Structure 1
Amino acid sequence: MKKRFVEVCNCPIIRSIYCCVFFVFFQSFLALGVGAIENRPTANDSIQAIAYNRKGIAAARLGDFEKARDYFERMKACRIRQYGSDSYRLGSSIINIGIQNKNLGNYDAAIENYLEAERLYVNHYSSEYPRLGFVYGNLSTIYKIRGDYLKAYEYNQNAFRLLSKDLKHYSRVADQARSSLAESLLNLKRYDEAIRICQEGLNKTDLDIRSYNLSLLAQIYWKRGEIETADKYYKETFDLLKNTDEGNQYDLGLELVDYVKFLLSAKKYEEVPHYNELSREAIRRYFTERSTQYANVMLNYADYYASRSSEASHLADFNRKRAEDLKLALTYYQKALIAATGTFTATDPFENPEIKQAISELQLLEILKKKSQCHTALGDLLKTGSQKQEAVRHYQAGLEAVELAVELVHQIRTGFVSEESRLFLSENQQSTFVGAINLCYKLYQQTGKPEYVARGFELTEKSKSASFLAAVKDSRAQQFGGIPDSLLNKEDVLKINISNYKQMLYEEKQQAEPDSEKVALYNTKIFYYSEKYAQLVQLLEDSFPKYYAFKYANEVIGLDAIRDRIGNHDAIVEYFIDEPDEQEDSGSLFRFVITNEQFSFSKTPIDSTFSNRIEGVYQFLTSSSYQYTDQKSYADYAWSSYCLYNDLLGDVQDELEGKTLVVIPDDKLSYIPFDALIYEEPDTSRMNFRNLAYLIKKHSISYTYSTTLLFDYFDKEQRAEKSLLAFAPSYEKDDRDYTVVAEYRAGLLPLLAVDKEVEYINEYVQGDLYEDSLAQEAVFKKYARDYDVLHLAMHTIVNDTLPMYSRLAFSKPTANTDEDGWLNTSEIYNMQLNARMAVLSACNTGSGKLQKGEGVMSLARGFLYAGCPSIVMTLWEVEDESGANIMRDFYKYLSVGKDKAEALRLAKLAHIENADPLKAHPHFWLAYVAVGNTSPLYVGKEMYWLGALALVLVMLIVVDQMRRKRRKTQD
């Protein structure tokens, strides 16, 4: 089967249903069948349509996609004259137009084409019409090209599901769709599932499908690091393609390009030149030198020269040859950029294209990152050779390239609708930010210019909780974008439906024997509502320019703005970690320290010891055997904590003296409360937790996900009408089904001190308390937005696999409610809160999955997103009585005007001072942390006295002035 116009993405063999000529023939056959020749108004239109269709197919075979699109447009015009503009018979020509737009890189236009075809089919048939599988398959390809692999997978699933409804007509295409599902799973790194599908595909008699699955198996084993197995499957793919017809030589060319990438990653450099030439020759047979396919060939040449080892007899000769290779690599990276863009022509490797010139955003992103790495390597080489000025020039060029890559990451991310897709991108693009921040540090070291500190800090901010920031920005953009309430309400309904069905699907899949009908139904519903939601978002972006501008702005707070707004006694300490991995023994810890007087930017080498210390401290603090701590465990904790302090803050302790610390952690640091760090060398000759030099004894400490979120989004002056809403549920005689989470299959144990906790709180802050069976989820949802402070003392069930389904456990629902007593994170995201603070007490509300680039995916994020700018949460389960006392003292200090971080600090210090030797253990008091805005909630009595004193002084001044004036008048 000849396939001359398949893909414009980076995949090696694309034999899917989406864009093969088979599909064009098939669509044409259906369009020209019996149904298509009925009710013809003129014979000429029908004849012309057939002729245009034939010419379009021929042009597409040759790769002339513009001409093919023109012919299919003419075919569509004939069909409109025959059947009208709303006829389902237009579907095949519209899809073929979309395929040509996709091949030309006009992805937005292609999506519009596919959605138009979908509308025609659904209106005439239903949403279950099998031929919609072609539409969804094509849409899957677009989202795959754009890097939204989750969205691509969803469309792929539905394409396969619908085509499978009519295997009599679509058996072969359904097989192709199923193989494409394996490719989607590969992109999502779900390798075991992908292998299972591919192995089944090898049993098919169709050579095209077999070769597709062989190719996918090669890629899967490559990504899994099983080099020899991957090589075996690549060779089998070559053998199969060489024995098929001429058309598959096109696929062989794409496969050769991918094989070169594989050889480079496996460091088999001696084989690369041969296969590089073969791939170049094959690709040039079918594509021009301004195509993404040719760009991949140039990229392989560049990678070869950038990574191969140079042979030399002495160091100077090695450096010279290495520099020549890197400069040659830069010329090929530039050629790759020219090939991968529409109009960029600059051959100077110090110039870059504009983002809008990209054919494929993902490919441009890859080339820019590698070009930046090459400039960096050349800069490092020249610097050691005392060519400092030239080294700085290459560092600057590398920074410009990688900053453009960062903008591309932002553009790609904001184009994603789902939170899951954004998170996946954040995790996979963390290396982009590592390279950018490292270059800023190198330039700062070489030049001493503060501008590189500022640029490094802004890049760090862009790397922090970017998905969360994008979601918060989107919510804020809706408020100020002029969007009518009717559309916002429609969005809310769609989001709630998506959330509900995802929850139902998750729970069904946890059953020992999931109901396949329910699973299929829930998947269909999720797909339906997700598609409607994506179309609504597109409508909002197209129709409301203010919303679009606000949402897509990639602005983060800068150093100057922070120093203008930060308090005199505050210091921000922000970290970025390039963690050591299996391939590299060392990594880097970057740190920014900012006060209103000065700033610093540092880099510290780290290795596995650093990670081990974090892990050791965390395990010690959270261990359930804290009551049996021995001398060795005590000493290990104290020394690890002291060493961590020196790694993190030791060299800046003088400039932080007397400051309140706002910490923006990164990676595994997110699990460690900095209060636990010990700032003086510990005496471990005997065990005494009370006397350790905890950092909390010197500083109030709070946390935030990013400085931008803290200053620009976690700020709320307006307070709700009512003061405090507190919940303390009881789980006695609670026979709800807990089997979803193994840890709780025996039921939730009662929290013995939560009633006491909320009653303590009410002594200092008056409010409404719901205890025991009255602590209902329905009550919370109904009244939460009316209160200034929300206090929830209850169990939390953390879901590390799907963080959006971590949940707060309210009391067992009463009979007259539709609620289930579980408040999921996804439900909190859909709420609108007016509270200035939420306290999530008793259990591990601050724990969760650690997501690269995002931090810990805890339940607390939902409250921040819902509009609550300040959270007090627990990082692990707290012993009841100690937790109740800490909360009592926390509210006591809050009520007299202390800010939240200082109130929490004083409450912890009070616990340490009054605790017996056992309960001085950090496990009892360190779990509570303050996140977000820590401003005081209440005015303390001392402020009233100061106000009264100021009033008296003003009155005295006024009286004195009046007396002076009277004397002057008398004189």
Structure 2
Amino acid sequence: MNKHNYPVFFICLILIFVGTISISQETNPKLRKATDLYFLPNPTEKEDLDAIRLFEEALNHTPDQEESKEFVIASEHLGNLLLSYGQVSKAVERYRQGITWARAYRQPDTLVYNHHLFLGEALFSISQLDSSLVHLQVAERLQNQLKGRGEPERLYNALGVYFFETGNYIRSISYFDKAQSYLTGDQPELEVYARYSFQSNKASALYHLGEYDSAQRIYTQLLDFNINQDQIRINLANTFLQEGESEQALAVLNQISPDYKAKSLSFFNLKAKSHLLSGNAVDAKESLDQAEKLILQDSSSERSFQKGVWMEVKGDYFRKIGKNALALVEYQKAIVELLPGFEDLKITSNPVEFSLGMSSLTLFEVLTKKAETAWEIHRSTGEESFFELGLGAWQSAFGLSQFISVNFDNDKARVFLSEKALIAFESGIEQLMAFSELKKKEELVWKAFQWVEQSKAGGLRIGAMQEKLKRKSQLPEELIQEERNLLFAIFRNSQKQFADPAPEVKAALAKEAVDLEVQLSRLREKFKDFPGFGKDLLEPFDLKVFQQSIPEKSFVLSFFMGDSTLFVFGIGREKFSWKNIPLTEVPFSELNRWIGGLVKEPSGSRYDLNQEIARFGASVLGPFEQEIVHAKELVLIPQGVLNSVPFELLPDAEGKFLYQRIPVIYQFSAQFIQHIQGHQDLNSGLGLAPFSDPENSSGFSPLPQSSLELDAISGEKFVGKEALKSVFLEKSENADFIHLATHAVASSVDPNQAFIAFYPEGEDFRLFAPELAFQSLEKAKLVFLSACETGAGQLSKSEGLISLARSLAFAGAEQMIITQWVSEDRVAAYISGRFYRHVADGMTFASALYQAKLDLLDDPEMAQYHHPFYWANFRLIGQPNDIAFPQGWMIWVGFLIILLPAGFWIGVKFWNQRAP
């Protein structure tokens, strides 16, 4: 094996250090001989192995100061050779040895640039993700010091691959673009392969983001490279299928070479899918028959992803020609093929236990198709058994989506999964609600509501619960890291299987997948040994249990948009009702215009409500008017685009605005709601106002009123230069509540770029969303984030707004006040001051915020801020609470409780004295 199979930029970097061979090689003949062998232009395997032996013998001694530089360089050379021969663990040891020597002998950091880069790549290849990223980021920092030297294209591609594989597709694209920018064109014959790799990776990332047009443009351009054209055409056809463009997919597939076609099961599967999509069942059957011949030629008994896809497409074919019973049989076969450990071919059987793998998403699709088909048979035959079969298949599919989410290790991947799963939820819920009307069974509406809440913010709930359990159970960091590494290895294995490899490779991957699953199972058994980690993350949502958690004087409104209907569910302690509104009656365009107008600063204080918005308010609130009138707090659980609607500004059937009637709380899902009892004192707080000083060097505008916000709170307060990010990180974990009066920036493109700003001392003054998400804020009863757009962000139909509020929820904050759009400095100070005053008087958080807004509207000195733009942006995401009397009223109540028995005793004595 030849070490010079590395890309050209690797060789160039090695040549940078050729001139460093000096004194130690004069005195260390083994090191000199090993280096000579290393730089042979075309070494034999024997010469490579001799070099490895000599390097190892030389490096087993500790160098002195004069030798240290050469020993550091030699450790990298030895690591490179070991990697060439697949000895990754030994290579990792040698790279680390070089880094240790460089640190010990105070050599320049740039000397170990290669060590960090190659070590990061090596660790990535064995799925040690966090360690890999640490070294790649060190190399990235050193790259800036090398000023044109180094291997920037290789480094940035490695970082791009890291973020691609971990689900951060947006960030991966930035790195692939950056890697390509370093290709100078000086060596076009070699650079074409690097350019192909960068562009292909970028197209894959775009495909995963659903940006199919952009992926198609890149794949089309890559065909001109004349590299691996058949695989590029397979990928290109896939993008057309995702867009429903069957004819274009077929046109691309027909250009694939005969040799590739003859042995590619994925080709025939895609061709059959394309024919079905275009309505050509005859040609689809022909493609399926050709695929079957390949399957019969494969003597391997291992499960195959592409074979499972073939069974799925075969089921689609039978469904297309009206043979639903046969379709169910094929879907069941596909489930067995795609799910290791599940062997039951009876269509009445649905899996309840799952395993990880690339086939998981396809398995989810198959289960939903099985459910749809069973219900189609039920509608045509009236046989109740098929209704129950379909219901069970839906339950299995939704259980699988939860299982996958639990096992994903990053939020980006969970959001992507939730969006995929939502399509099935929309279909299943819409159909189940229709069946509930036909069958006159309210329990089916309960089931539909359970699915509704399961579909909302499921990724957030699971991610937040996992982080909370890990913090509470005090799991050792090495176990958490081991879990991340195993999950990554499993997903890497799945992707390799997805590529339809040769039978011998397929068998090896299947064996590796089983071994990894066993390792993961054993590791998670260890988790259960730690206190508090036994809680089941997959515990189903139960309506009756949920109802009992709602305070007696609270009412919940939950919204869900199905395929053609907006469902509004009203839930109280003893009440459950619902309203179905056709989507054709929801004024989406007017809602968007209305919200767009609200977020712009008005020229006056007058606020006029569009009649269509008024009718919409009456349609969603009117059916629950009596419950709202008699409630003390209203909890709203919006979904999709309704997350951006300021419901407090909607009128009811009587024309009265919601903000005039009742305090409002928002929540991500009913699964987040917990009953809080009694008054919550806010005592030991943490307040930061970094931009109160009119002069700062950050470019952010001053917030002179922000220091006044802190006047209303008790606890530690940091203003101006004292309000540092480091202070927040140090003190937030133990704060009773947190108030941040600062600037924040939202991002609707990449939510990870959203941040909260602290005083700009140095470059690291921004707290970005991912870093915020992994703080521990569970002790905080409330986080008041008084900054612009802290509740805004990228909209996910299933997960809601991917905002800083989501990061706070990950960090353990159960109650928070955030803003939906820009806030005005003086209004923020007014509302926060009144809020804390009302909380001190015994009000709940919802009532205190509600009253603070009314105070502003009743205050003639604040007349210029009466337009909803200034105050309707403040939103409480939190929990319903038993309404407590303000403290002054509590004193009077206590006084009356004492007086009444005394008065009764005096009265009895008086009347006894008057008795004859």
TM-score, with structure 2 as normaliser: 0.71
* 1:798 to 2:797 alignment: no
Match of 1:541 in 2: 524
Q: Does 1:922 align with 2:868?
A: yes
Question: Structure 2: which 5+ runs fail to align?
Answer: 1-41, 53-78, 96-114, 130-160, 486-516, 910-916
Aligned length: 749
Q: Deviation per CA, 1:72-97, whole angstroms, max 9, x where unpaired?
A: xxxxxxxxxxxxxxx9999999x8xx
| Structure-1 residue corresponding to 2:488 | none
1:168-317 alignment to 2 at 5 Å? 179=200, 182-183=203-204, 185-191=206-212, 194-195=215-216, 198-199=219-220, 201-205=222-226, 209-224=228-243, 226-237=245-256, 240=257, 242=258, 244=259, 249-251=262-264, 253-269=265-281, 271-286=283-298, 291-307=304-320
State the one-letter code of the partner of 1:254: S
Contact preservation (8 Å) 2:88, 2:122: no
Structure 1 gaps of 5+ residues are: 1-29, 41-86, 96-116, 309-321, 495-533, 579-585, 683-692, 737-746, 964-971
- Alpha-carbon contact 2:739-2:784 (below 8 Å) kept: yes
Aligned ranges for residues 737-752 of structure 1 at < 5 Å?
747-752=699-704
Q: Report the 3-state secondary structure (helix = DSSP H, G, I; strand = E; otherwise coil) of the residue aligned with 1:653.
A: helix
2:349 corresponds to which of 348, 351, 368: 351
Within 5 Å, give how 1:864-943 maps onto structure 2.
864-914=809-859, 919-933=865-879, 935=881, 940-943=887-890
Alpha carbons of structure 1 residues 628 and 410: separation in structure 2 relative to 1, 3 Å: same
CA distance in 1 between partners of 2:519 and 2:349 (Å):
38
1:891-936 deviation line (CA, Å, top 9, x unaligned): 2322211111112222222333345876432222211111113548
- The answer for the alignment partner of 1:511 in structure 2 is none
- Cα distance between partner residues in 1 of 2:361 and 2:195: 28
Deviations 1:244-281 (A, max 9, x none): 3xx76212x32011121123234444532232322223
What does 1:328-727 correspond to in 2, within 5 Å? Answer: 328-342=326-340, 344=342, 346-356=344-354, 360-382=359-381, 387=382, 390=383, 392-481=384-473, 483-484=475-476, 487=478, 541=524, 543-546=526-529, 550=534, 553-578=537-562, 587-607=564-584, 609-625=586-602, 627=604, 634=608, 637-659=609-631, 660-680=633-653, 693-711=656-674, 722-723=684-685, 725-727=687-689
Task: Specify the SS of the correspondent of 2:348.
Answer: coil
Matched letter for residue 650 of structure 1: G
What is the Cα deviation at residue 597 of structure 1?
1.1
Shift of the alpha carbon at 1:955?
8.0
Moved more, 294-303 or 351-360: 351-360
Distance across 1 between alignment mates of 2:763 and 2:674: 36
1:282 Cα deviation from its structure 2 partner: 3.1
Q: Is the alpha carbon distance of 1:750 and 1:439 closer, same or farther for their aligned partners in structure 2, counting shifts above 3 Å? A: same
1:397 CA drift (Å): 1.5
- Amino acid across the alignment from 1:820: D
SS of match in other structure, 1:708? helix
Could you tell me which residue of structure 2 aligns to residue 848 of structure 1? 793
Instruction: Report if aligned partners of 2:621, 2:653 keep a CA contact under 8 Å in 1.
Output: no
2:446·2:543 contact (CA, 8 Å) conserved in 1? Answer: yes
Q: Aligned AA for 1:575?
A: F
Partner of 1:729: 691
Q: Aligned-pair distance for 1:459?
A: 2.1
| Residues 1:958 and 1:170: Cα distance change in structure 2 (over 3 Å) | farther
Which residue in 1 is equivalent to 2:725? 777
Structure 1 residues 474 and 121: alpha-carbon distance in aligned structure 2, compared to 1, 3 A threshold: same
Mapped to 2, the partners of 1:950 and 1:173 lie a distance apart of 83
2:93 maps to which of 100, 116, 123: 123
Q: Give the Cα separation in 1 of the matches to 2:128 and 2:838.
A: 57
Q: Are the equivalent residues in 1 in contact too, given 2:614–2:651 (CA < 8 A)?
A: yes
Q: Tell me the secondary structure at the aligned position of residue 556 of structure 2.
A: strand
Task: Tell me the distance in 2 between the aligned counterparts of 1:213 and 1:226.
Answer: 17
- Structure 2: distance between partners of 1:131 and 1:886: 50
- Go from structure 1 to structure 2 and tell me whether the alpha carbon gap of 1:332 and 1:779 turns closer, same or farther (over 3 Å shift): closer
Amino acid of the structure 2 residue aligned with 1:700: P
Secondary structure at the residue paired with 1:844? coil
Q: Distance in 2 between matches of 1:231 and 1:124?
A: 51
Tell me the SS of whatever aligns to 1:890.
helix
| Contact persistence 1:796–1:807 (CA under 8 A) | yes
Percent identity between the two aligned chains: 23
- Is the Cα–Cα contact under 8 Å of residues 900 and 934 in structure 1 kept in the other structure? no
Cα offsets for 1:859-906 (capped at 9, x unmatched):
123333333321112211233434433333322322211111112222
**Counterpart-to-counterpart distance in 1, 2:483 and 2:467:** 11
> Per-residue displacement from partner, 1:768-798 (whole Å, max 9, x unpaired)?
4444444433333333344323222222211
Letter of the 1:809 partner, please give it.
A
Write the distance in 1 (CA, Å) between the matches of 2:81 and 2:536.
38
For residue 125 of structure 2, the aligned residue among 123, 136, 144 is: 136
* Structure 2 contact 641–797 (Cα < 8 Å) conserved: no
8 Å Cα contact 1:677/1:694 also seen in 2 = yes
Q: Secondary structure at the match of 2:210?
A: coil
CA RMSD of aligned residues (A): 4.8
Q: 1:808 aligns with which of 752, 756, 771?
A: 756
For 1:786-827, what per-residue CA distance to the aligned partner results, in whole angstroms no more than 9, with x for missing partners?
Answer: 4323222222211222223312233333xxxx5633232233
Matched letter for residue 301 of structure 1: K
Q: Give 3-state SS (helix, strand or coil) of 2:662's partner.
A: coil
* Partner-residue secondary structure (3-state), 1:860: helix
Contact 1:845 1:859 in 2 (8 A): yes
- Looking at structure 1, the residues matched to 249 and 422 of structure 2 have their Cα atoms a distance apart, in angstroms, of 26
Distance 2:341 2:433 in 1: 33
How far residue 566 of structure 1 moved from its aligned partner, in angstroms, is 1.7
Relative to structure 1, the CA distance from residue 556 to residue 664 in structure 2 (aligned partners, 3 Å threshold; closer, same or farther) is farther
Matches of 2:80 and 2:690, distance apart in 1: 58
Q: Is residue 790–residue 803 contact of structure 2 (8 Å, CA) maintained in 1?
A: yes
- The C-alpha deviation readout for 1:268-316, integer Å capped at 9, x for no partner, is 44532232322223333226796433332222122123245xxxxxxxx
Deviation at 1:664, TM superposition (A): 1.0
The whole-number CA distance in structure 2 between the counterparts of 1:868 and 1:131 is 34
Give secondary structure in 2 for the equivalent of 1:457. helix
Q: Normalising by structure 1, what TM-score? A: 0.67
Distance 1:488 1:273 in 2: 50
Distance (whole Å) between structure 2 residues aligned to residue 298 and residue 696 of structure 1 = 55
Query: 1:153·1:181 contact (CA, 8 Å) conserved in 2?
Result: no
2:755 maps to amino acid: R
Distance verdict in 2 for CA 1:881–1:397, change over 3 Å: same
Partners of 1:148 and 1:416 within 8 A in 2? no
CA distance in structure 1 between the partners assigned to 2:827 and 2:455 by the alignment: 37
Shift of residue 344, structure 1, vs aligned partner: 4.8
1:531 equivalent in structure 2: none
Question: Residues 889 and 155 (structure 1 numbering): CA distance in 2 closer, same or farther, change over 3 Å?
Answer: closer
Name the counterpart of 1:520.
none
